[in-house]
Structure 1
Amino acid sequence: MNKNKIALAAPLAAALLATAVTTATPAAADPGPWHSAWNASPQPPTHTDWFPNWSEEGFRDQSVRQVVRAGAQGGELRVRLTNAYGKTPLRLTGATVAKSAGGAAVRPETLRPLRFSGAGPVTVPAGGERASDAVALPVRAFEQLTVTLYFQGPTGPATFHNVAMATSYRAEGDHRRDAAGEAFSAPGGQSSSWYHLAGIDVSDPAAPGPRRSAVVTFGDSLTDGFGATPGADRRYSDALADRLADRGTPRPVLNAGIGGNKVLTDSPCFGESALNRFRRDALGRPDTGTVLVLEGTNDIVQPDGTQDRCTTGPRVTAQQIIAGYRELIREAHARGVRIVGGTIPPYGDSGYWTAHGEEVRDEVNRWIRTGGAYDAVVDFDRAVADPQDPRRLKTELAFADRLHLNDAGYRALADAVDLNTL
């Protein structure tokens, strides 16, 4: 599979887009009985000082317990595992799923083993994904589910999702059937990332719902929710799902954000570019009906900041970013998926602001608002900008770094979405 970096230094955007390839072919158009309830975009294993994790070391004779919020109801569920960036097959000794009792604890009466083609162990091929058999565990929308994976042998570096904004737990030995969380309380046993966990689907034959009901929020750390209260499910995707449910039109809202991600260029720390992962992460679920794009900040700010292995890359023009958006729009429309564009919020007063970056952001946002290429537009910029100085976030909505948002800021992003456009 070709995963070459997209060269941006000199060629026009049209030329660079001709070299862009996506990472995977979407699943079949018919989801069958399954509907997406939760997912995370996979990233290659890497260490970052700003968000330490266990991905490079992987696991050996360890249990990994991870908590997620289901976005849809069903009478049965299945868990999808990923080895997207594994160089060798991933061998899982066994796994369980249960309803969370808070922290690393689970409700014992809900604890269920996961099986794969009838067996407890499973091997996930390098670059592949495996779904568990159906598990009879009724799920309500917005319930927290806990998945515990036990790896007896060494896994090698782990495919993961860095900015989970939730706590995952690690314990020595096999603790997949533990209801209590004591084994996961040892020092060094907590992480703010997810590992080898791709998604959770639910099935409810009594209420199958529309075939393409899922909304995918696609983007960078503003979609990932960096700056929100950890473990509280206060990303803008969560708030958007709450709004849809409160209106009486519940739909799963799947978060496909990756912190630090760019539209145009790959990063060893922040994942493949939007161009290279859009088909897999935004269109890869067969029940995706609408994609909401909020991305471009890092294309602008990272080249203007201090360069390191994570942020290296040339300056880009507004026209190159816009050409990237046009490619995402083309991909979505080719698969009959509605695509909504979000304007880029301000970041004045942050350490990343430059006059050049502000010019690019203004030009990009003007095109999003007036270009007519998206099916609809959400003006995230104006929803969170200080009306007295539109280059800056409203103080009451800003996280400490003045680049990201707090809980109220992410709620403001969700409130800016006209639900009828979805």
Structure 2
Amino acid sequence: MTTKTLFRSLFALLVTISFVLTAAPASAHGRSWSATWARAMQEPSGEPWQDPNWSLAGFDGQSLRQELRVSRGGDSLRITVSNLYGTGPLRLSGATVGKPAAPGEVRPGSLRPLTFGHRLSTTVPAGAEHTSDAAFLRVGALERLSVTLYFSGPTGPATYHEFSGDTSYLAGGDRRFDPRATAFTATNHASYFLTRVDVSGRSSASVVTLGDSITDGYGSTVGADRRYPDRLAERLVDAGLPYGVLNTGIGGNELLNDNLTGGESALHRFQRDVLDLPGVRTVVICEGVNDIGLAGMFDLPLEPETVIAGHRALIAAAHAAGVRVVGATITPIAGSFYYTEKGEETRDAVNDWIRHSGEYDAVVDFDAVLAEPDKDHMREEYATNDGLHPNDAGLAAMADAIDLASL
């Protein structure tokens, strides 16, 4: 071990000890916690439909640095680590949180160790999640965070999220307290284990956006926070409304059916990815395009009534939990690989029900916002090359169409 490495290790140890001695448990002092960021978890997959990822291999003797943007601020924060799809216990050897400088870098003065029950490490059983103690790092609305997780031994396959919309950085060894990006030589656009960030302070409600790749932000500029929920969070901040906005979209997700690349169906994950989140008041549901598109591609029977029944089940579950529900119409598919005449008929019928049935508490008409006037195609200025996913401008138009009073 070189003198420089020894000094860095001793410095990190002293910093950690000082924070551990003064840190309070997550539940101490009557803290009121609200979720400010969330990400839905997926089963490790070797068949990604977007980019290659590290989920099947997992991590061993490595540090994983991930960046994200919160929606609302607070005077302290905590993170939640998920081992939902793990094949065995997940040992997290240590973690830190800070504020990014350049990509992959952390401002040294912002680095804080994260503890779990006053311990530097934690072991998360398969199928479970662990939430850290409070870290005393004040964070502002729409501010970015950097979380570094260190795994001294093998994790096994990693519970993950395929498209993070941000960059994850990987380095060998323990780099929790290394503010530089130099050692983080591998990058990826998936995220791993990190499923939620909460902030404490003035109690606040949260809006959850549930959906598929369109909610997840596929087609948006990576690292620029231009998904439609990001823009919605910006609008709420501009309006002085202190609500968190939580994005639980998954690329390829279906309303009715589980699939490996698209995760558990909205019906199966609704409790975990919406109702169980701290402070949730309202959910915006944008689901059904993959059910309709895949049924058309593979000539499978799918009637509008079946899709509507799925929406009704989500509405009933939300109302039973006292959560307001905003229904979003299904976005255009004409001109994309999903288009069939039967699928378009089904989409039109479901959208007509969403608009006019009165069963949702409120409606946002994403279809009308994105489609060419009197046509079924997405407007050219709003569409990516596949004709299915909105670009940055289209996603902004979706967010701007949401009546903030409906939330």
Is the TM-score greater than 0.5?
Answer: yes
Q: Indicate which of 176, 196, 201 corresponds to 2:198.
A: 201
Q: Indicate which of 188, 191, 198 corresponds to 1:191.
A: 188
Equivalent position of 2:16 in the other structure: none
> Structure 1 residue 250: deviation in Å?
3.0
Superposed CA offset, 1:60-91 (max 9, x none): 11111000101111111111100011121100
Tell me if structure 2 keeps the 8 A contact 1:300–1:315: no
> Structure 1 residue 304: deviation in Å?
2.5
Give the letter for the 1:282 counterpart: V
> Structure 1 residue 277: deviation in Å?
0.1
| 1:412 to 2:397 alignment | yes
For the residue of structure 1 that corresponds to 2:369, the secondary structure is helix
Equivalent position of 2:322 in the other structure: 336
Tell me if structure 1 keeps the 8 A contact 2:96–2:113: yes
Aligned equivalents of 1:75 and 1:302: distance in 2?
A: 45
Tell me if structure 2 keeps the 8 A contact 1:43–1:85: yes
Give the letter for the 2:352 counterpart: R
> Structure 1 residue 50: deviation in Å?
2.9
Aligned equivalents of 1:116 and 1:155: distance in 2?
A: 18
Equivalent position of 1:402 in the other structure: 387
Equivalent position of 1:37 in the other structure: 36
Taking a change above 3 Å as real, the CA distance of residues 335 and 32 of structure 1, as seen in their structure-2 partners, is: farther
> Structure 1 residue 388: deviation in Å?
4.4
Q: Indicate which of 224, 247, 250 corresponds to 2:239.
A: 247
For the residue of structure 2 that corresponds to 1:393, the secondary structure is coil
Give the letter for the 1:37 counterpart: T
Superposed CA offset, 1:89-108 (max 9, x none): 10011111000113100000
For the residue of structure 2 that corresponds to 1:67, the secondary structure is strand
Tell me if structure 2 keeps the 8 A contact 1:116–1:132: yes
| 1:92 to 2:68 alignment | no
Tell me if structure 2 keeps the 8 A contact 1:63–1:151: yes
Equivalent position of 2:229 in the other structure: 237
- Unaligned ranges ≥5, structure 2: 1-29
For the residue of structure 1 that corresponds to 2:377, the secondary structure is strand
Aligned equivalents of 2:287 and 2:224: distance in 1?
A: 23
| 1:217 to 2:209 alignment | yes
Tell me if structure 2 keeps the 8 A contact 1:94–1:149: yes
> Structure 1 residue 318: deviation in Å?
1.0
Give the letter for the 1:219 counterpart: G
TM-score (norm 1): 0.88
The 5 A counterparts of 1:214-293 are: 214-293=206-285
> Structure 1 residue 32: deviation in Å?
5.4
Give the letter for the 1:262 counterpart: E
Aligned equivalents of 1:286 and 1:149: distance in 2?
A: 23
Give the letter for the 1:414 counterpart: A
> Structure 1 residue 314: deviation in Å?
3.9
Aligned equivalents of 2:192 and 2:309: distance in 1?
A: 33
> Structure 1 residue 346: deviation in Å?
0.5
Q: Indicate which of 315, 323, 333 corresponds to 1:347.
A: 333
Equivalent position of 1:385 in the other structure: 371
Equivalent position of 1:317 in the other structure: 303
Aligned equivalents of 1:264 and 1:157: distance in 2?
A: 26
> Structure 1 residue 285: deviation in Å?
1.0
Taking a change above 3 Å as real, the CA distance of residues 131 and 322 of structure 1, as seen in their structure-2 partners, is: same
Aligned equivalents of 2:275 and 2:334: distance in 1?
A: 33
> Structure 1 residue 52: deviation in Å?
1.4
Aligned equivalents of 2:371 and 2:404: distance in 1?
A: 21
For the residue of structure 2 that corresponds to 1:72, the secondary structure is coil
Equivalent position of 2:163 in the other structure: 163
Aligned equivalents of 1:284 and 1:87: distance in 2?
A: 23
For the residue of structure 1 that corresponds to 2:394, the secondary structure is helix
The 5 A counterparts of 1:3-82 are: 33-47=32-46, 48-82=48-82
Give the letter for the 2:168 counterpart: S
Equivalent position of 1:375 in the other structure: 361
**RMSD of Structure 2 on Structure 1 (CA):** 1.3
Aligned equivalents of 1:44 and 1:291: distance in 2?
A: 24
Tell me if structure 1 keeps the 8 A contact 2:74–2:199: yes
Equivalent position of 2:27 in the other structure: none
> Structure 1 residue 203: deviation in Å?
0.8
> Structure 1 residue 400: deviation in Å?
1.2
Superposed CA offset, 1:285-308 (max 9, x none): 130000000010000112323x6x
> Structure 1 residue 190: deviation in Å?
0.8
| 1:296 to 2:282 alignment | no
Q: How many residues align?
A: 377
Tell me if structure 2 keeps the 8 A contact 1:275–1:324: yes
Tell me if structure 2 keeps the 8 A contact 1:241–1:250: no
> Structure 1 residue 49: deviation in Å?
4.8
Aligned equivalents of 1:360 and 1:416: distance in 2?
A: 24
Equivalent position of 2:25 in the other structure: none
Superposed CA offset, 1:384-407 (max 9, x none): 110142x10000010111100111
For the residue of structure 2 that corresponds to 1:183, the secondary structure is coil
Superposed CA offset, 1:367-422 (max 9, x none): 00011111010001001110142x10000010111100111000010011111100
Give the letter for the 2:64 counterpart: V
Aligned equivalents of 1:92 and 1:248: distance in 2?
A: 38
Aligned equivalents of 2:301 and 2:292: distance in 1?
A: 7
Structure 1 stretches of at least 4 aligned residues deviating more than 2 Å after TM superposition: none
The 5 A counterparts of 1:140-179 are: 140-179=140-179
Superposed CA offset, 1:300-326 (max 9, x none): 112323x6xxxxx94321111100000
For the residue of structure 2 that corresponds to 1:248, the secondary structure is coil
